[in-house]
C-alpha cells in the first residue's frame, strides 16, 4: 500500500467517514457512482470494484461486460455536506476503469485524456487549463417543454439580487473550495439567471475531474437554495447560451512554452502552431466539444459564441482568443478556446483539443493572419472571402466532419470514436423526427 492510500484510510477513520462514493463517467460525460463502506476501500485499492460495463453508455458489450473500477487515491476529497450531527460522513474518489486482464479500458474517458497528456509529455510538455464555466439557475426544470423561468433578471456583472437564491454563488464557492477546488472568479453572466464561476488553472486531468465535481456541487447547492441548475448549452431562445471557455497553455518544466518576449504578440512558435492546430481541426472535433443537438443553437447565433475558425487578440468573436490582460507576465501567456459548452464531456473535449494543438506543434502548422473583424456580423460569403472556415452549424454537420477525421479517431481511440458517432447519429435522427412547437405555430393552419 502506498502513502496516498494510507492517508485516505487514516482520514476515513479519523473523520468517521461512513460512505465512500467511487466516481467515474461514461462516454457522454454522465457521472456514475457506487458507494462502498470504508472497510471495503482497502480491497478496492488493490483489486478494484467489479461492475457490469454493458450497462454503462459506451463501455462494453454484453459478451464482455465484466469491468473493474479502481479508485485513484490522489483524487480523494471529503464531500462538503454536513449531516444532522454537524459532521461530514461522505467522501468521493475518482476511479480509473480497467478490463479484467488489468489493461486500461479504452472506453474510460480518463484514460482517453491521459493518453493525450502522455503524448504531450513525450514531447516535454505539461498541459494546464482554466475553464470559465457558465450555467443557468431556474425556478424549476419541470416545464413540460415550455421555456424555463430564470431565478433572477440580472445582467452581465450585475450585483443581482437572486430572487430565489440570494446566497447561491457564495455557498457554491464555499463548497467547491472545501473540496480543494480553487475558484478564481465568479459573477453574474449576461442572461437572466445565468452565472459564471471560473476555476483556477490546473493540469488537464485534474481539471476534468474538477469540472465533473463542479457540476455535481452546483446542482446540489442550487437545490439546497430552492432553485435548479442547468448546464444546457442554450436553454433560452433570446439570450446567450452557456459556454465553457477554456484557457490553455503548455509548460516545459517551470517555463511557459507559449511565451516569447520578443514576439509581436508575445506568442512563441509553439503557441502559434498550437493555435493553428486548433483552428485547422476545430470543425472535426466540434462534435466532441459541442455534443448535443442544442449545442448548435448557441454556436450559430453569435452572442459571444464563435461561428468560424479564427483567432485574435481580445477578439471575443473569434474561436481562439489571446488574452492581453497581463502582457508582460510570462507565466500568464495562454490562449482561450471559446467553442466548448458546459455540457461536454471534459475528458474527451480536452483530449481532442490537446491532440489538435499538439498536431500543429509536431507538424509545424503556420498560424493564419489574425482576425480583427467582428465575425458574428459577417455573412457566410464575407467569411469565405476572408478565408475563414465556418464551424459546423448543426450536430449532423459536426458528425460528418468528425467521421472523416483521422485526428479525432486516433485521439479518442476506435471504441469511443465508433460509439460516440453511433450514439450521436441516433440523437440526430430522433431530433429530426420531432415536430416542434415552431412548426405547429407556423404550419398547422396551412
DSSP assignments along 3-50, one per residue: HHHHHHHHHHHHTT--EEEEEEE-TT--EEEEEE-HHHHHHHHHH-EE
- 187 is known to lie in a ligand binding site: no
Q: Which residues of 334-354 are buried (b: 16+ CB within 10 A; e: fewer)?
A: bbbbbbbbbbbbbbbbbbbbb
Contact 236, 256 (CB under 8 A): no
- Helices 204-224, 346-363: axis angle to 10 degrees equals 150
- How would you class 90 by CB atoms within 10 Å of its CB: exposed for 0-12, middle for 13-18, buried for 19 or more? middle
Q: How many CB atoms lie within 10 A of CB 87?
A: 11
- 196 is known to lie in a ligand binding site: yes
- 414 is known to lie in a ligand binding site: no
Rounded distance between C-alpha atoms, residue 223 and residue 175, angstroms: 14
Residues whose CB falls within 8 Å of the CB of residue 433, separated by 6 or more in sequence, listed in order: none
- Cα–Cα nearest to 349, from 23, 279, 341: 341
- 134 is known to lie in a ligand binding site: yes
- 418 is known to lie in a ligand binding site: no
DSSP-assigned letter for residue 226: T
- 167 is known to lie in a ligand binding site: no
- 281 is known to lie in a ligand binding site: no
- 47 is known to lie in a ligand binding site: no
- 132 is known to lie in a ligand binding site: yes
- 223 is known to lie in a ligand binding site: no
- 186 is known to lie in a ligand binding site: no
- 249 is known to lie in a ligand binding site: yes
Name all contacts of 165-170 with Cβ < 8 Å and 24+ positions apart. Answer: 165/137, 165/222, 165/225, 165/226, 165/227, 167/225, 168/137, 168/195, 168/221, 168/222, 168/225, 168/227, 169/195, 169/197
Annotated binding site for L-glutamate: 298, 304, 316, 338
Binding site for Mg(2+): residue ranges? 132, 134, 189, 196, 245, 336
Residues contributing to the annotated binding site: 132, 134, 184, 189, 196, 245, 247-249, 298, 304, 316, 336, 338
Amino acid at each position: 500500500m502506498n502513502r496516498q492510500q494510507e492517508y485516505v484510510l487514516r482520514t476515513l477513520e479519523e473523520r468517521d467517514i461512513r460512505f465512500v462514493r467511487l466516481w467515474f463517467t461514461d462516454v457522454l460525460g454522465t457521472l456514475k457512482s457506487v458507494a462502498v463502506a470504508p472497510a471495503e476501500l482497502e480491497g478496492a485499492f488493490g483489486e478494484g470494484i467489479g461492475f457490469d460495463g454493458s450497462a454503462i453508455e459506451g463501455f462494453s458489450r454484453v459478451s464482455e461486460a465484466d469491468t473493474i473500477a479502481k479508485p485513484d487515491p490522489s483524487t480523494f476529497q471529503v464531500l462538503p455536506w454536513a449531516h444532522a450531527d454537524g459532521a461530514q460522513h461522505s467522501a468521493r474518489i475518482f476511479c480509473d476503469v480497467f478490463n479484467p486482464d488489468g489493461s486500461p479500458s479504452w472506453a474510460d474517458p480518463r484514460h482517453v485524456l491521459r493518453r493525450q497528456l502522455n503524448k504531450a509529455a513525450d514531447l516535454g510538455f505539461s498541459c494546464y487549463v482554466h475553464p470559465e464555466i457558465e450555467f443557468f439557475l431556474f425556478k424549476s426544470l419541470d416545464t413540460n417543454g415550455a421555456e424555463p423561468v430564470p431565478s433572477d433578471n440580472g445582467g452581465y456583472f450585475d450585483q443581482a439580487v437572486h430572487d430565489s437564491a440570494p446566497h447561491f454563488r457564495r455557498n457554491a464557492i464555499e463548497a467547491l473550495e472545501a473540496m480543494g477546488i480553487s475558484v478564481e472568479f465568479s459573477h453574474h453572466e449576461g442572461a437572466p439567471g445565468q452565472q459564471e464561476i471560473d476555476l483556477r488553472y490546473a493540469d488537464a486531468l485534474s481539471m476534468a475531474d474538477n469540472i465533473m465535481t463542479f457540476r455535481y456541487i452546483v446542482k446540489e447547492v442550487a437545490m439546497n437554495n430552492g432553485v435548479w441548475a442547468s448546464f444546457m448549452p442554450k436553454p433560452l431562445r433570446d439570450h446567450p447560451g452557456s459556454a465553457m471557455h477554456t484557457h490553455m497553455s503548455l509548460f516545459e518544466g517551470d517555463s511557459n512554452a507559449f511565451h516569447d518576449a520578443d514576439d509581436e504578440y508575445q506568442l512563441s512558435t509553439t503557441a502559434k502552431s498550437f493555435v493553428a492546430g486548433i483552428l485547422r481541426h476545430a470543425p472535426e472535433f466540434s462534435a466532441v466539444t459541442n455534443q448535443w443537438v442544442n449545442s448548435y443553437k448557441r454556436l450559430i447565433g453569435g452572442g459571444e459564441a464563435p461561428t468560424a475558425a479564427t483567432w485574435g487578440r481580445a477578439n471575443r468573436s473569434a474561436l481562439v482568443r489571446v488574452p492581453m490582460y497581463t502582457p508582460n507576465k510570462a507565466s500568464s501567456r495562454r490562449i482561450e478556446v471559446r467553442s466548448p459548452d458546459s455540457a461536454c464531456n471534459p475528458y474527451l473535449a480536452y483530449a481532442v483539443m490537446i491532440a489538435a494543438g499538439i498536431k500543429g506543434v509536431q507538424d509545424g502548422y503556420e498560424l493564419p493572419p489574425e482576425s480583427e473583424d467582428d465575425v458574428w456580423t459577417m455573412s457566410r460569403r464575407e467569411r469565405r472571402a476572408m478565408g475563414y472556415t465556418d464551424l459546423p452549424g448543426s450536430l449532423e454537420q459536426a458528425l460528418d466532419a468528425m467521421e472523416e477525421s483521422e485526428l479525432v479517431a486516433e485521439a479518442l481511440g476506435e471504441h469511443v470514436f465508433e460509439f460516440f458517432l453511433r450514439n450521436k447519429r441516433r440523437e440526430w435522427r430522433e431530433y429530426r423526427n420531432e415536430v416542434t412547437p415552431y412548426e405547429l405555430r407556423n404550419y398547422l393552419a396551412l
